[in-house]
Amino acid sequence: MQLVFASNNKNKIKEIQILLPPMFQLLSLEDIGCLEEIPETADTIEGNAILKANYVTQNYGYNCFADDTGLEVDALNGEPGVFSARYAGEQRDANDNMDKLLANLEGKSNRNSQFKTVIALNLDGKQNLFTGVINGKIIEEKIGTNGFGYDPIFIADGYYKTFAELTLEEKSVISHRGLAVKQLVDFLK
């Protein structure tokens, strides 16, 4: 079964492909000829996932799924949240985003946070949402070179390594995205 994943983020595509059974062939936006950037103008993570999935279905006619992810930090009233990818500006630079987050958390003892991923699936004229959440904390310095985004400063509850210290396979099993994709796969079976 071919399924379009409304993304050109090679890291996300790799992460999701590992989680999908071999019967699913994942196509990226590039694979279907969608080279424009899909606007993410919703004020919620759910809203952005829906916008992206609907854009592909309406403009390209494919069954597809899209995700949006945000890091929500308790001490910052849920920031960066829906603005996680562009927290430090439109350049969407992970190091700039982490540096801003760490600066904003300086002197704060509550470093509790959660990663949240919402997947919107458009399949045969119906839409379904799947949500994965993992709780953890933000550490004070970047550790690890794997992963992407905020992975070097996030440690999941019950773990002692950052997401950036885990292998892609280890992270995929416990991560917010992994949890949402598992729900998606269970639904598609």
Catalogue the active-site residues: 68
Residue 163's CB is within 10 A of a number of other CB atoms, namely 27
Let me know how many helices (H) and strands (E) the chain has, helices first: 5, 7
Q: Are 3 and 27 in contact (CB under 8 A)?
A: yes
| Two structure tokens written together for 171 | 């992270």
Q: Is the peptide bond before 21 cis (omega within 30 degrees of 0)?
A: no
DSSP string over 47-93: HHHHHHHHHHHHHH---EEEEEEEEEEGGGTT-EETTGGGTT-TT--
Query: What are the tokens at 176?
Result: 């917010």
Angle at 188 between CA 183 and CA 189, to 5 degrees: 100
Diameter of the chain by CA atoms? 50
